[in-house]
């Protein structure tokens, strides 16, 4: 077997080894014997060097006209189009999602590039009249500085692109720390940034642990902004660490997303949506459907249909085009899922399908867990309250729309939600009353398009909206308000002069 490829950090335009001389392996979760590559297990010195490089590069990059910055980003999009298949396959190997979904992940990065590169010629500000004569008032977007980007393994190219591309168009420089479970896809993104000629030091990439690289970014005085996607618990720590240096922080975190199925819903459509929302990416999406609140009148029929379909989903290596559900990312994640299945059983809920780890034959080589559906779940159970991040969905019963909404909103999270109904009045009431950042009607809780705001309330987010929507510019730019007085005399705002 060939030696696994060694991937280096990218600091100040050079691919360099970590000063620690340590590395870690990235293995295929569908087959643990396959090493995708080894990556640098960096130390604080590496992060410092990357931040310094980003600071130096910032002095020039912020002055490059935004439409010119955007030209690089259009070219990043073009290369991703050409390499979509190659990068998708590598993504499936490194983190397991079925190849169709991996193609979607790369496509999401392409969409972000094209949409946000267009912002290079917009980046609109406000112009308003002054209350005084011979005076102009306007406001412009200016960059923030060096941005620390801490990204997850579940969308290993899309989510880094949500941060990196808007950060660059606004004139910031960046240090990216990808999740150690899937650092290869963001390596590809960074490599493409280098290929299109983005100047040295503007994009830096440092792999390694949260305690060293992550903390190095959150604690540094040289970093002006941290954008993080991951668990709510880690997000809290990131937020606390950033408070010391008054950083701007954007947090995109967990969910316990509910789908409501009313008695007038098209049940077959709702079943399709539930399968996709609950089991795509093996439930490892922050927007995954993890609670399905079904009207009592259709509860049995819905559960029977869903269970029958879930049982037929094909679990396996995501490189097989016919596979619906890939492996979980890691042993730790598998253990967590198994623990929650046990918790559910202990709480008296009933797994109608799945619930037991798959180990036979080729399953034994990876972290496979089957689609699992719990019925008999009540709102107080831990199963209904805590984020699992696996192919486990729980079904709750409701008497009415009001009852369903109350159950849906009874959570610490607030990322995504959905309702299946044919009644337009009920749909609009739900859209109004679901306390989430994203709400779907007659569609699953997943499937956000990149040009709309993405994010949630409560423990799902801290008030920002990422993705490639105009709202991402709010994160990665500051407002500067400019007053130009051409009256030739001192004019005093708010002071009566007559
Ligand atoms: C996530 O839920 O972890 O909306 C990100 C979607 C994808 C992004 C999901 N576009 O399903």
User: Is the CB of residue 367 below 6 angstroms from any atom belonging to ligand 1?
Assistant: no
Between the CA of 290 and the centroid of ligand 1 the distance, in Å, is 14
Domain assignment of residue 320, yes or no: yes
Instruction: Provide the percentage of residues in the chain whose pLDDT is more than 90.
Output: 97
Q: Which residues contact 62 (CB under 8 A, 6 or more apart)?
A: 142, 143, 171, 172
Q: What is the Å distance from ligand 1's center to 286 Cα?
A: 7
Q: Is the pLDDT of residue 443 over 90?
A: yes
* Residue 62 and residue 179 in one domain: yes
Q: For residue range 470-496, what is the model confidence (pLDDT) as tens digits?
A: 899 999 999 999 999 999 999 999 998
Instruction: Examine the pLDDT at 128 and tell me if it is beyond 80.
Output: yes
Q: What are the DSSP calls for 211-271, one per residue?
A: IIIIHHHHH-TT--EEEEES-HHHHHHHHHHHHTTT-EEEEE----EEEEE-TTS-HHHHH
Going along 72-187, which residue ranges are E strands? 126-129, 135-143, 146-150, 173-177
Q: Does 415 lie in the same domain as 285?
A: yes
Percent of the chain with pLDDT over 70: 100
Q: Report yes or no on 217 lying in a domain.
A: yes
* Beta-ladder partners of 10: 15, 205
Domain range spanning residue 277?
257-441
Tokens of 292: 């399905």
Are residues 241 and 262 located together in one domain of the fold?
no
State yes or no: pLDDT of 498 exceeds 90.
no
**pLDDT, mean over the chain:** 97
Cβ of 253 less than 6 Å from ligand 1: no
Q: Which of 336, 330, 342, 340 is nearest to 368 (CA)?
A: 330
391 in any annotated domain: yes
d(CA 113, CA 69): 12
pLDDT at position 3 over 90: no
pLDDT digits (tens, 9 = 90+) for 229-251: 999 999 999 999 999 999 999 99
Nearest atom in ligand 1 to the alpha carbon of residue 108 is 10
Over residues 267-282, the mean pLDDT reads 98
User: pLDDT confidence of 219, banded at 50, 70, 90?
Assistant: very high
The Å distance, Cα 448 to ligand 1 centre, comes to: 6
- For residue 455, tell me if it sits in a domain: no
pLDDT digits (tens, 9 = 90+) for 338-360: 999 999 999 999 899 999 999 99
Host H or E run for residue 24 = strand 23-28
pLDDT tens, 35-72? 999 999 999 999 999 999 999 999 999 999 999 999 99
Examine residue 497 and state whether it is found in any structural domain, yes or no: no
Same domain, 173 and 305: no
Q: Whose CA is nearest to atom 8 of ligand 1?
A: 448
In terms of domains, do 221 and 281 share one? Answer: no
Residue 196, domain member (yes or no)? yes
Q: Which residues are catalytic?
A: 252, 286
Q: At what angle do helices 99-119 and 84-95 cross, to 10 degrees?
A: 120
Is any atom of ligand 1 closer than 6 Å to the C-beta of 155? yes
Residue 449 lies in a domain: no
Instruction: In whole angstroms, give the CA distance from residue 429 to residue 68.
Output: 45
**Number of domains making up the chain:** 2
32 and 129 part of one domain: yes
Q: Identify which of 101, 161, 388, 448 to mutate to test ligand 1's pocket (most ligand atoms within 8 A of the CB).
A: 448
Global confidence as pTM? 0.98
Ligand 1 centroid – CA 3 distance (Å): 34
Say if 104 falls within a structural domain: yes
Q: Is the pLDDT of residue 306 over 90?
A: yes
Cα-to-centroid distance, 287 and ligand 1 (Å) = 6
Q: Which residue's entry shows tokens 């049940």?
A: 267
Say what the pLDDT of residue 201 is.
98
153 in contact with ligand 1, CB cutoff 6 A? no
6 pLDDT more than 80 = yes
Judge if 262 and 247 occupy the same domain: no
Residue 488 per-residue DSSP state: S
What pLDDT score was predicted for residue 1?
60
Query: Which CATH number characterizes residue 321's domain?
Result: 3.40.309.10
pLDDT recorded at residue 496: 84
Quick one: 423 and 469 in the same domain? Answer: no
Same domain, 175 and 188: yes
Instruction: Specify whether 63 is located in the same domain as 178.
Output: yes
Residue 234 sits in the same domain as residue 275: no
Residue 45: both structure tokens together: 């010195």
Residue 287 near ligand 1, beta carbon < 6 Å:
yes
- The verdict on the CB of residue 286 being under 6 Å from ligand 1 is yes
**Residue 52 and residue 96 share a domain:** yes
Q: What's the pLDDT score for residue 452? A: 96
How large is the average pLDDT for residues 428-443? 98
Looking up residue 217, the CATH number of its domain turns out to be 3.40.605.10
pLDDT of residue 148: 98
Which residue is associated with the tokens 């009148």? 297
Q: Closest residue (by CA) to atom 10 of ligand 1?
A: 448
């Amino acid at each position: 077997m060939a030696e696994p490829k060694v991937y280096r950090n990218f600091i100040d335009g050079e691919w360099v080894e970590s000063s620690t001389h340590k590395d870690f392996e990235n293995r295929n979760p569908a087959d643990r014997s396959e090493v995708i590559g080894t990556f640098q297990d960096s130390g604080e010195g590496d992060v410092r060097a990357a931040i310094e490089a980003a600071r130096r590069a910032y002095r020039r990059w912020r002055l490059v006209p935004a439409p010119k910055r955007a030209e690089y980003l259009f070219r990043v999009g073009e290369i991703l189009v050409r390499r979509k298949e190659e990068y998708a396959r590598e993504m499936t190997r490194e983190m397991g999602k079925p190849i169709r979904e991996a193609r979607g992940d790369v496509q999401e990065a392409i969409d972000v590039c094209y949409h946000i590169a267009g912002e290079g010629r917009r980046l609109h500000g406000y112009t308003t009249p002054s209350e005084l004569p011979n005076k102009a008032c306007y406001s412009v977007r200016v960059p923030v500085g060096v941005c620390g980007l801490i990204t997850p393994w579940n969308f290993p190219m899309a989510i880094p692109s949500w941060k990196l591309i808007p950060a660059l168009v606004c004139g910031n420089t960046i240090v990216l720390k990808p999740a150690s479970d899937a650092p290869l896809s963001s390596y590809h993104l960074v490599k493409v940034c280098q290929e299109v000629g983005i100047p040295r030091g503007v994009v830096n990439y440092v792999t390694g642990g949260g305690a060293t690289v992550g903390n190095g970014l959150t604690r540094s005085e040289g970093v002006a902004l941290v954008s993080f996607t991951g668990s709510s618990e880690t997000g809290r720590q990131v937020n606390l660490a950033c408070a010391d240096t008054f950083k701007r922080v954007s947090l995109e975190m967990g969910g316990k997303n509910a789908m409501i199925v009313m008695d007038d819903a098209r049940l077959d459509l709702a079943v399709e949506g539930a399968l996709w929302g609950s089991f795509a990416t093996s439930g490892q999406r922050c927007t995954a459907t993890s609670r399905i609140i079904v009207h009592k009148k259709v509860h049995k029929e819905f559960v029977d249909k869903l269970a029958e379909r879930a049982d037929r989903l094909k679990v396996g290596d995501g490189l097989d085009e016919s596979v619906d559900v890939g492996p979980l990312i890691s042993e730790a994640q598998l253990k967590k899922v198994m623990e929650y299945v046990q918790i559910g059983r202990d709480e008296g809920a009933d797994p109608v399908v799945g619930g037991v780890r798959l180990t036979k034959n080729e399953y034994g080589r990876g972290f496979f867990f089957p689609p699992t559906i719990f019925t008999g779940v009540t709102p107080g159970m831990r199963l209904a309250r805590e984020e699992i991040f696996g192919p486990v969905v729980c079904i709750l019963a409701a008497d009415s729309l009001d009852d369903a909404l109350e159950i849906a909103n009874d959570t610490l999270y607030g990322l995504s939600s959905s309702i299946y109904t044919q009644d337009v009045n009920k749909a609009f009431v739900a859209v109004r009353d679901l306390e989430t950042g994203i709400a779907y009607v007659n569609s699953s809780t997943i499937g956000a398009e990149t040009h709309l705001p993405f994010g949630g309330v409560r423990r799902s987010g801290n008030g920002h909206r990422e993705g490639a929507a105009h709202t991402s510019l709010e994160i990665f730019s500051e407002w500067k308000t400019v007053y130009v007085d051409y009256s030739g005399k001192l004019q005093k705002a708010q002071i009566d002069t007559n």
